[in-house]
Amino acid sequence: MAPSTEMRFSGWGVEADAGELSGHVISWLEQRFGAPLAARVAPPELDDLRLSASQLSKRATAKLSACVGAANLRTDRGARLIHAAGKGYPDLLAVRSGKRLPAPDAVVYPADESDVRAVLKICGGQGIAVVPFGGGTSVVGGVAPLRGGFDSVIALDLCRLRKLIDLDQSSRIGTFGAGLRGPELEHLLRARGYTLGHFPQSFEYSTVGGWVATRSAGQASTGYGRIDEKLVGARLSSPAGELKLAARPASAAGPDLRALVAGSEGALGVITEASLEISPAPEVTRYEALMMPSFEAAAEALRTLEQQGLSPEVTRASDEHETEIGLAFAGVDGVKGKLLNGYLRGRGGAPGALLILGWEGASGSIDQRRRAALSVLKDAGAIGLGAGAGRAWAKSRFSTPYLRDHLLERGVMVETLETSTSWSNLTRLYRGVGDALAAHAPFVGCHISHLYLTGASLYFTFIAPQDRADPLAQWKAAKRSACDAIIAHGGTITHHHAIGVDHRRYLKAEDGAAGVDALRAVKASLDPRGLMNPGKLL
């Protein structure tokens, strides 16, 4: 029988890791909102939900079942529900709404590349839309079971394509099945002395194919590189045929088609495997925290580090608002807060912008770089807070989505969005998007999470009491204001969460009409009937 996903249908991750909403988080929010939080409304159970009836014909069911095996074609409520949505705020609202949920008519679990090709051929002949599905972690509607102009749609779950296909140690290239999840991949590589170094917040559940399809950036991408920078080869099965791109370090043979696979979001075909640059597993990992006098000072200091080649593998600078809530949510208030303030005052500082640094490398290799970086930061007014605060961040870095779920149950809207721009435009973009969001939420925080020679990313979080009458309209208004501000102030519409459904209308503003037409032409060539992931990207 096909492996089942571990993710809860009603929220992030698994129940055993969800924990509970702490009292100091509730107290801080109630003080900030000036009103008590709503009573907890538990998420629905499976039996509480209504799904649209499956529209898959008997003929198509028989053909798909014969192709992958009866056990690997599922039409039961549980499988269809888990594949009905990703993990974005609108997805969670839909699950909790009590309304009938649109769901794929079936979930198909191919075993390998040949299965994928055969399934696409059947779907082309039967007129069935196909939604490639990895970990189901999309927060922009990337796995919504949209049908386009077709009567039925399947979720093509790649969880059986989860192996290390090849390890070229001389070239430091690993080739992986698209369904391999982050922890599985790292386990396979660490056992051989390597790491991919790719740790998005969704690391525990997202997959290789999903990373490539969305041009993912991990928390250590400043040091190890984004997934599209690491991609040296790929296989993509489309309705028109297979695109097989051999692993090569470089080529001048026309436009780089690997760049076309990266970011394709399932709209061009199904990524079945990827060849990626790997690195030696680090012998030393060191996290630490510092307090900067301001977010602007932190940004300027990080620019200096990056352009002087001194940046650590993990670099995260929170603005004053995000620092405040981060410390409050971590319980650093009351007596602990007074102690922290006293410590900072004793060193001529005050609470400002929290900086998290993570160093990785061979034993002895990070010392000189770290000393030089800390010298730059201290000249910019940084005050060291020690390794404990850095380790605390590292320990909890994959658990933040659980907090969003808990707050949603208490009537609080929590949402994030991200962008990037050049260093010279960073402050303008930061202020423009922050001001736009402030009109919709009493709390808006931001952090820099990835550094480049030419610029950096900005990751915004906004929190507000939920509009119980129409929470989706509330979210749409805030999202649109922020996206409009991103475009108006020279940012990219997404730095690492992809386009999906949520950002479709902004792609033309970024790539231009001719660019979008070129992408449409590519889609028409690889997917002439428009079977692949309708309504996403374009």
The predicted model scores a pTM of 0.96
DSSP letter, residue 512:
H
What angle separates helix 471-488 from helix 426-438, to the nearest 10 degrees? 160
Token digits of residue 137: 């972690």
Enumerate domains of the chain plus CATH numbers.
50-280+503-538 (3.30.465.10), 284-396 (3.30.70.3450), 400-502 (3.30.300.330)
Are the beta carbons of 120 and 73 closer than 8 angstroms? no
Q: What does the pLDDT read at residue 2?
A: 41
Amino acid at 188: L
Q: Which residues belong to the active site? A: 459
Instruction: Provide the terminal-to-terminal Cα distance of the chain, rounded to the nearest Å.
Output: 35
Q: How far apart are CA 52 and CA 323, in angstroms?
A: 44
Taking CA atoms, 387 is separated from 279, 286, 311, 482, in Å, by: 25, 8, 17, 35
For residue 390, the number of C-alpha atoms closer than 13 Å in the C-beta half-sphere is: 21
247 CB contacts (<8 Å, ≥6 apart)?
Answer: 168, 171, 173, 175, 232, 233, 275
Token digits of residue 187: 């386990």
CA dihedral 319, 323, 324, 327 (to 10 degrees): 180
- Three-state SS at 311: coil
Residues paired with residue 207 on neighbouring β-strands, in sequence order: 181
Q: How far apart are CA 527 and CA 269, in angstroms?
A: 7
Q: How far apart are CA 381 and CA 378, in angstroms?
A: 5
Taking CA atoms, 223 is separated from 78, 206, 314, 318, 413, in Å, by: 40, 20, 7, 19, 33
Helices within 380-489 (DSSP H only): 387-396, 400-409, 426-438, 471-488
DSSP assignment string, 49-71 = --BPPP---HHHHHHHHHHH-GG
Across 210-257, the runs of DSSP E, i.e. the strands, are 231-238, 241-245
Task: Report the candidate in 241, 235, 72, 81 with the shortest Cα–Cα distance to residue 156.
Answer: 72
Are the beta carbons of 185 and 230 closer than 8 angstroms? no
Work out whether the CA dihedral 315, 319, 325, 327 comes out positive or negative.
Answer: positive
Q: What does the pLDDT read at residue 329?
A: 85
Token digits of residue 322: 């995000």
Q: What pLDDT tens digit does each residue of the chain (538 aa) get?
A: 344 447 888 999 998 899 999 888 999 999 999 999 999 999 998 888 989 889 999 999 999 999 999 999 999 999 999 999 999 999 999 999 988 999 999 999 999 999 999 999 999 999 999 999 999 999 999 999 999 999 999 999 999 999 999 999 999 999 999 999 999 999 999 999 999 999 999 999 999 999 999 999 999 999 999 999 999 999 999 999 999 999 999 999 999 999 999 999 999 999 999 999 999 999 999 999 999 999 999 999 999 999 999 999 999 999 999 999 988 888 776 656 777 878 888 888 888 999 999 999 998 889 999 999 999 999 999 999 999 989 999 998 999 999 999 999 999 999 999 999 999 999 999 999 999 999 999 999 999 999 999 999 999 999 999 999 999 999 999 999 999 999 999 999 999 999 999 999 999 999 999 999 999 999 999 999 999 999 999 9
Across 62-197, the runs of DSSP E, i.e. the strands, are 73-74, 106-108, 128-133, 152-157, 164-168, 173-177, 194-195
